[in-house]
Amino acid sequence: MMIFHVCLLNLQQTNRQICGHGTYFNDNGELLVSTVGIAKKTNKFICIETVRSRYCGSVGDFVIGRVVEVLQKRWKVDVNARLNAILLLSSVNLPGGELRRKSEEDEQWMRENLVEGDLISAEVMSVYADGSLSLQLRDIHRKLNQGVLVSVPSFLIKKRKVHLHHFPCKITVSFGINGNIWIAPTDEEEKDCSSSGFMDIIQSLTYDTHDNIARFRNCCCLLAENKVMLFEKSLWLAYEYSLAYKVNEILTESLKKEIANYVRDQIQTSLDF
């Protein structure tokens, strides 16, 4: 049952129901819902599964976020969650891979290398009691430069063992579990985890690279609009199908549905996904 506004759930009241997320009892003892979503019933337990909601992180998630504030020995990062995530200075690998006690010089280094507005890829290290996330930057996690950010509902990102993919067309796509997708040109230094994660790598891009980045971006948007799960296979299928058209033609209404239906059919009929 799809719920669109506050209303009375018409359920058989043979026994008293137990209200869960998005439900409550009024003064007359009637069970009401207070959020948009799908009603789920398990025995006596009733809850509402929301159609769109904030990202709720868990340990080990790969996320992409934007720095919103630099504080003493920590950064605050917006990861599309209810609360801003925290990135501690102690959870960051210093340039050169040094493992030592952080000093005042390192605190000065914080603002020189990661300021408000910068994008980073990180991993959820822990979840605090209030639900906010603690992040860490290790190995493949880094400051993101020279690319395009696409934001989609987090439930459309399919969880995989690897969320950073280098495509044959020399484009790298990072799928953040929190709904942020980063599309950038593939850089050989980026593939080498020994390079510093805070280097501002700026390279001259060709027309083909710009075209491919825009094509991947449009493919992400049309798949998200048509509620197709986003991961490396679905995005690559959409990209290949779109090559017969110009980049600006991909976002026409008829073609968006055509590409999305093609990808959906391919995923459903293939055992590889």
Rounded to the nearest 5 percent, the helix, strand and coil shares of the chain are: 25, 30, 45
Could you read off the pLDDT of 220-246 as tens digits, one per residue? 999 999 999 999 999 999 999 999 999
pLDDT of amino acid 191: 55
The reported pTM is 0.78
Structure tokens at 105: 């010089």
| The residue count for the chain | 273
CA-nearest of 37, 43, 35, 46 to 10 is: 46
Structure tokens at 202: 């700026």
Spell out the domain ranges in the chain: 2-50
Distance between CA atoms of 185 and 156, rounded to whole angstroms? 23
HEC sequence for 213-251: HHHHHHHHHHHHHCCCCECHHHHHHHHHHHCCCCHHHCC
Structure tokens at 153: 């509902």
Structure tokens at 29: 């003892």
CA-nearest of 195, 193, 163, 196 to 181 is: 163
Strands (E) in 9-106, as ranges, are 18-19, 23-25, 31-33, 37-42, 45-50, 62-71, 74-78, 85-92
Strand bridging mode 119-127 / 62-71: antiparallel
Return the CA Rg of the chain. Answer: 22
pLDDT of amino acid 101: 58
Domain 2-50 is of which CATH architecture?
Answer: Beta Barrel (2.40)
Strand bridging mode 23-25 / 18-19: unpaired
Could you read off the pLDDT of 42-79 as tens digits, one per residue? 787 877 777 667 888 899 999 999 999 999 889 999 99
pLDDT of amino acid 200: 65
Alpha helices in 67-158 (DSSP H): 104-113
Low-confidence spans in the chain with pLDDT less than 50: 1-6, 11-14, 193-195
The arrangement of strands across the sheet holding 23-25 comes to 7-8, 31-33, 23-25
Strand bridging mode 62-71 / 74-78: antiparallel
Q: Which long-range contacts (CB under 8 A, 24 or more apart) does 139-142 make?
A: 139/93, 139/193, 140/164, 140/193, 141/197, 142/190, 142/197, 142/198
- Asked if 112 contacts 63 with a C-beta cutoff of 8 angstroms, the reply is no
Distance between CA atoms of 226 and 260, rounded to whole angstroms? 6
Cα dihedral 55/60/64/70 (nearest 10): 100
